[in-house]
A and B are shown apart, each in its own frame.
Chain A
Amino acid sequence: MATLSSSSASLLFSASSSNLFPLSHSSTSSRLSFSSSLHSSSASLFSASSPTFLAYPSSSSRLSSISASAAEKKKVLIVNTNSGGHAVIGFYFAKELLGSGHSVTILTVGEESSDKMKKPPFNRFSEIVSAGGSTVWGNPADVGSIVGGEVFDVVLDNNGKDLETVRPVIDWAKSSGAKQFLFISSAGIYKTTDEPPHVEGDTVKADAGHVAVEKYLEESFSNWASFRPQYMIGSGNNKDCEEWFFDRIVRDRPVPIPGSGLQLTNITHVRDLSSMLTLAVEKPEAARNSIFNCVSNRAVTLDGMAKLCAKAAGRPVNIVHYDPKAVGVDAKKAFPFRNMHFYAEPRAAQTKLGWSSTTYLPEDLKERFEEYVKIGRDKKTIQFELDDKILEALKVPVPV
C-alpha cells in the first residue's frame, strides 16, 4: 500500500480529483472514472478496467519524485549489458533517476565504438548525457578503475547472468562503500509449477547463474535487492517483442503460435521496471534484502498478445497453432516467448514498496505500433523462413 509519509504528497493529492487518493477505496462502480484518468478509453472490452489495485500509477511515480527532492540525492552506478532484452532497463532507469534529481553514471560493457552501440537504446544515450548523466564504457571486472575511484551510494548490475561476471562488481561495490546493491536477475530461474504464479520465495533452479549471484549477494552485501523481470516492451528496446507480432500482422501473414496459445506470460512496459527500481533506491529500508518480481500485475495469453497487437494495428489477425515437434521446428527459434506458462506476479513490490504497475497493453501497444510504422518497419522486407516451414507443414495458405 502506498504510504503517504510526506505532507507535501498530500498537498499534491488534495489538488487533484479524489479518485487519485490511494487510500480511499471508492466504490467499484467508479471503475469507469478510475480508467478515464488513466487511459483514453475507447469502448473496447478492456477499456473499463484499470489494472491497478491500489494507488494510481501516476500518483506513485509523482510521489517518488517528490520524495527524491525532499529526501537524499543518491549517486547511482548502473552497470549495463550491451545487448539483449535487459539493455533497455538501464536506459529508462538512468533517465528516471536523473529526472528525480539523482546523479547517474552508466557503465556499458565493451567499447563505445562497438557496432552494438548503433542499436537502441545505446544510440539514444545522448538523452542520458543531456539529462546530466555520465556514460562510460569498459569491462565490469575493471569497474573501479573505469569510474576513476568514484564512490557510489547505489550500484545496479544489469549485466551479469552468473557469479563470475557479477562478483567483481559486488566485491568492488562493497569495498568502495556502496550502501545498496541492486541486481537484475530473471524470472526464468523459477522452477516450473502446477500452481502459478511465480511468487517471491518460490523454489528456483539451484544451478541457475542468477541464483548463484543472489546467494552471493545475500551472504556478502548488507543491503541488496534482486529484481526478476520477464518480457518487456518500450521505445529503445534492444530486442524484439511486440514487433514479432506486428511483422506478421501488417503483412497479412498468419501468426503461428506453438501449443494452445493459452500460455500466460508477463509483458511489461519497461517504465514499470524503472519505477520499481527507483522506489527501491528511494526506500532502501523497505527494499532491504528482498527479491522482487519485476513484472506488471497482469499476465497475457500468447493468443491474447497476438489479438492485442492486431487491435493496436487496426488489422485482423489469423492465429495458427502448431506442435513444434510435429512440424519439426525449434520453438525457441520460431517464436520469441517460452512455450509454457511463464507467469509471475509483483507481490513483493506491491507490499513492501507500495509500487503499482502502469502497464496497460491495449494502450501501450498502440504507442508501440505508432513507432513501428514511424520507423518504417512495416515496409521492410522480411524473410519468414521458419513461419513458412510451419505453415507448409500445416498446409495453411499464405498471401503472396
Chain B
Amino acid sequence: MARFVAVTPSQQNNQLSFSPLASSLSDFSGAKLQCSQIQFKRKQWQAKSGSFYVSASSNKKILIMGGTRFIGVFLSRLLVKEGHQVTLFTRGKAPVTQQLPGESDSDYADFSSKILHLKGDRQDFEFVKSSLSAQGFDVVYDINGREAVEVEPILDALPNLEQFIYCSSAGVYLKSDLLPHAEVDAVDPKSRHKGKLETESLLQSRGVNWTSIRPVYIYGPLNYNPVEEWFFHRLKAGRPIPIPSSGIQITQLGHVKDLARAFVHVLGNDKASKEIFNIAGDKYVTFDGLARACAKAGGFPEPELIHYNPKDYDFGKKKAFPFRDQHFFASVEKSKSVLGFENEFDLVEGLTDSYNLDFGRGTYRKEADFSTDDIILGKTLVSV
C-alpha cells in the first residue's frame, strides 16, 4: 500500500530520504531510488513487477528541460503533486506557468507557488553545464532535446544523476511492411529524428541510468501540433475532409495526459532502467477512422471524406495533411507487461477531452488554413 510521506520544505533538498522500509532495489549510479506514487490507476504494476516497491515516497529534485508548452505542462503538475521539487529550464519565451483549462484557481495557485524556473538557452552548453552543476539535480526529464550534443553538458554537469528520462520518438523506427513497430525493431539512422537516436546512443554509452520514451502522435488539450485541431477546423467549418490516397493508412495517437503519467511511472522504477518504451494509445486508427472519431468527439455529424492522390498535386511547402502518408504505429505491449502501465484514455474519450478543454472553447494554436483543401477540392470537382 502506498503512503504519502509529508515533507517539510527544509527536507526538500538534493538528499534522498531513506525510509526504514527501503528495499534492496538495484542501485542507480550509486544511489538508492524509491518509487514515486501514482495517484491514478496503480492496480497492476505492483503485483506484476514482482519486485518490492517502497511504500514511502521521497521527493526528488527534478529538472525538466522545457516544460512550458505541452507534455511538460502536464508532467510538471503531476510531479509537483507527488511532492517533488520541480524546476523548468526554459528561455522564458512562453510564460513559465499558465492556468490549464479546467484547472481550479486554487490548484493553479498551488502549482505556481511551487514550480521553479531556471532561465537559460539550452544551446548555450557552457551555461547549461555550469547552472546545472551549481544546483544539482537528482533526476532530469529531457522533454525538448533534439540532438545528442544538447544532452552532453547535462550529463557532464550531473555525475551523480539518478535517472535521465528522455522524450524520444517512434519516428526513429525504420519503415516496415511488418507492423506494429516494437522497441527491438530496426531504427532508421537517416530519419529526420536521427538526433533522437543519437541521443539514445549517447545515453547508452555514458553509463547513466536512462529511460527513453518513444511516443507516436501526441494529442490532447494545448497541442501545438495541429493534429486533432486540423480535423476540428474542417468539421467546424462544415467542410469535407481531404484525405490522401486510400484513407486506410493506420496511425496512432497517444493522449498527452497518459504520456505524462507514463513519464511519472518510470521515475525511480528499476524496471525502466536502461529501457526504451513505446507510449501511445492501446488501439490504432485509420485516417478515415480518425476523421470520424474527431467528429464524434466534437459532436459533429459524420463528415464527408474526399480521397485524393497526393502525387497529383504540388503544395509547395504547405502540408496538406497532418500525418505521414504511410502506416505508422507502435506496440505498447512492453510498457504494459514490463511496467504494468495502462492508458486512461481511449481515442474518442481522449479526443473529447481535447475538444472540451481546448478547441471546443474557442482556443487553438494555428488559424484555419484551407488553401491546400481548396486546391484538392477544386481539382477533384473539375475532373468529375
B179 touches A260 (CB 8 A): no
A52 to B185, CA, bound (A): 10
How many B residues, CB 8 Å from partner?
A: 41
Asked, given contacts A1-B337, A350-B333, whether A196 binds B250 with beta carbons under 8 Å apart, the answer is: yes
CB distance from B206 to the nearest CB of A (A): 13
Interface membership of B7, Cβ < 8 A: no
Contacting pair A53 B178 (CB below 8 A): no
A28-B275 in contact (CB<8A):
yes
| CB pair A1 B48 closer than 8 Å | yes
Taking the nearest CB of chain A, how far is it from the CB of B231, in angstroms? 13
Which residue from A46, A259, A263 sits with its C-beta under 8 Å from B176? A46
Query: How many residues of chain A have a CB within 8 Å of chain B?
Result: 45
With a cutoff of 8 Å between Cβ atoms, the chain A residues found around residue B174 in the complex are 45
Q: Does B42 contact A (CB under 8 A)?
A: no
Interface segment, B28-36, B146-154, B283-291?
B283-291
Does B284 contact A361, Cβ atoms closer than 8 Å? no
Cβ of B349 to closest chain A Cβ, rounded Å? 12
Q: Which residue of B lies closest to A26 (CB)?
A: B274
Asked, given contacts A53-B337, A298-B179, whether A28 binds B283 with beta carbons under 8 Å apart, the answer is no
Q: CB-CB contacts of A41-59 with B at 8 A, as 1s and 0s?
A: 0000111111111100000
CA distance A52 to B334 in the complex (A): 10
Could you say which of B74-82, B102-110, B241-249, B366-374 contacts chain A? B241-249
How many inter-chain contacts with C-beta < 8 Å in the A-B complex? 117
Given A45-B174, A264-B250, A264-B327, decide whether A27 and B274 contact each other with a Cβ distance below 8 A. Answer: yes
In the complex formed, the residue of A with least CB distance to B276 is A28
- Do the beta carbons of A48 and B186 come within 8 Å of each other? yes
Let me know if A351 is at the binding interface, CB within 8 A.
Answer: yes
A25 at the interface (CB under 8 A from B): yes
A132 at the interface (CB under 8 A from B): no
Chain A residues with CB below 8 A from B289, complex form: 193-195
- Contact yes or no, A260 B186, CB < 8 A: no
Cα-based distance from A52 to B331 in the complex (angstroms): 11
A269 proximal to B (CB < 8 A): no
Contacts of B271 in A (CB 8 A): 25
Report if A199 contacts B (CB, 8 A).
yes
How far is the CB of B274 from the nearest CB of chain A, in Å? Answer: 5
Known contacts A45-B176, A350-B333; can you find 13 more A-B pairs with CB under 8 A?
A29-B201, A45-B174, A53-B182, A194-B285, A194-B293, A195-B283, A195-B293, A197-B284, A199-B282, A259-B246, A262-B249, A264-B250, A298-B178
Sample (27) of A-B pairs whose CB atoms are under 8 Å apart: A25-B271, A27-B275, A28-B184, A34-B184, A46-B176, A46-B186, A48-B185, A50-B184, A53-B333, A194-B289, A194-B290, A195-B293, A196-B250, A196-B285, A199-B283, A260-B248, A262-B248, A264-B179, A297-B331, A297-B333, A300-B178, A301-B179, A308-B177, A340-B248, A341-B248, A347-B333, A351-B337
> 8 closest Cβ contacts across the A-B interface?
A304-B177, A194-B289, A260-B246, A195-B283, A48-B186, A49-B185, A298-B178, A31-B184
